Structures are given as C-alpha cells and as structure tokens.
Amino acid sequence: PKFGALAYSTKKAIFAGTISQNSQSEAEREALNFCRRESGSKDCKVIIGVRNGCVAAAEGRLDRNGFITTPAASATAEETEAKALALCKAKGAKDCKIIAHAGCSIPQ
C-alpha cells in the first residue's frame, strides 16, 4: 500500500501534501514538514490522509464567517476533487473552488 496526507497552516493559509509514502505516519510527518517549511509556521495540522487513493481540498466563502476548507479523499483524482467541492457546497459555502488539487498514492 501507499499513503498520502495533506496538511494546512491556518495562519498562512498554505496547504502542503505528500503522496506515495510507505506508511500513514510517514505521510503525515512529511506533509507537516513541507507545510512548516512552506509557511514558516508551526501551526500546521494534518487535515486528511489516504491509503491507496487521492486527497484534495476545496475552499468556499461563508456569509460573515470568512472561509471554509473541505478536504476529501477518494479512489480517483476526479472523484476526490468532486467530493471536496460537494462537501464545500453542502456546508453552505459559496464560490467553492479546488485549492489543493488531487494528489494520488496508488501502488504500482
């Protein structure tokens, strides 16, 4: 199996991810390291992980409350991005868009 993870810095609004790692803990550690390096902040958190699949995230605007981020995981890139957008809309957000395109961890 192969694993992936997506981390997010709320202070800097930066996503960082990793794919094709050999364990979930390795994928999460690498995603956090990339996020911290890219954002220069230690507030990064893993928001989703995947085993033999894809991860993505969408963002949308909420009335008066700023923005919402919706991560998703699924079997294919297209399905994962569609799921992230659907979750964003289901939470009542407007102008939902993919902000972390799907990355897939599929064993060869």
Contact (Cβ atoms closer than 8 angstroms) between residue 104 and residue 91 = no
Of the pLDDT bands very low, low, confident and very high (cuts 50, 70, 90), residue 10 is confident
- The average pLDDT across 40-57 equals 95
Task: Give dist(CA 33, CA 101) in Å, integer.
Answer: 19
Choose among 108, 100, 107: nearest CA to 34. 100
pLDDT band at 31 (very low <50, low <70, confident <90, very high): very high
52-78 in b/e form (b: 16+ CB < 10 A) is: ebbbbbbbbeeeeeeebbbbbbbeebe
Residue 12 reports pLDDT greater than 90: no
